[in-house]
């Protein structure tokens, strides 16, 4: 059973943080573990923090299905659709060396330079420009003394409290 298959009833999560480089053809080498869990046919979009989000095909379909549950003339749905789908692409895959070509449009939108950071976020990956990721980490104190408070705040927001 490959890692992209479900374990029990849930897919294995995308975990860990890696650094990588973008080559002259816009390709990024993704670790085997992350490739196996992301699978072929995945989608990318501009994420809420300005980085790229990469979703396994199944999770991306869940996002599309959730959008479809709302009235198409609902202004919130239209804006969300515009923001999420207007800056997205699907059916991406890896070459034989485990690289993915990130189209120029997405490299520009996410301000990706040569050095990138790939962050596993459970159900998706984030692909950050390295300098922007370092700034994000500092600003949000995710590694410093405020880490506990940041985690508690994020947990409460997740629970809707």
Residue 141 counted as domain residue? no
Contacts 24+ apart (CB under 8 A), 58-63: 58/11, 59/11, 59/123, 59/124, 60/90
* pLDDT number for residue 153: 81
Strand-pair partners of 43? 55
Prediction pTM value: 0.85
pLDDT class of 1 with cuts at 50, 70, 90: very low
Q: With 50 as the cut, is the pLDDT of residue 4 above it?
A: no
Residue 155 counted as domain residue? no
- Structural domains of the chain, count: 1
Residue 146 counted as domain residue? no
Residue 43 CB: number of other CB atoms within 10 A? 22
Residue 33 counted as domain residue? yes
Residue 136 counted as domain residue? no
Residue 30 counted as domain residue? yes
Q: Which two tokens mark 130? A: 């390295």
pLDDT class of 30 with cuts at 50, 70, 90: very high
* pLDDT number for residue 161: 64
Q: Is residue 125 classed as helix, strand or coil in its secondary structure?
A: strand
Residue 125 counted as domain residue? yes
Q: Which domain covers residue 87, as residue numbers?
A: 13-129
């Amino acid at each position: 059973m490959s890692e992209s298959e479900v374990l029990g009833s849930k897919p294995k999560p995308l975990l860990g943080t890696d650094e990588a480089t973008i080559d002259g053809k816009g390709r990024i080498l993704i670790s085997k573990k992350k490739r196996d869990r992301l699978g072929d046919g995945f989608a990318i979009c501009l994420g809420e923090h300005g980085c790229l989000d990469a979703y396994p095909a199944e999770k991306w379909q869940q996002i599309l299905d959730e959008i479809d549950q709302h009235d198409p003339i609902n202004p919130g749905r239209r804006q969300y659709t515009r923001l999420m789908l207007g800056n997205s692409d699907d059916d991406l895959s890896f070459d034989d060396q485990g690289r993915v070509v990130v189209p120029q449009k997405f490299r520009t939108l996410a301000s990706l330079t040569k050095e990138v950071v790939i962050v596993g976020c459970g159900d998706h990956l984030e692909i950050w420009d390295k300098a922007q990721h370092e700034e994000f980490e500092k600003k949000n104190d995710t590694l410093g003394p405020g880490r506990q408070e940041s985690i508690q705040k994020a947990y409460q927001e997740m629970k809707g409290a």
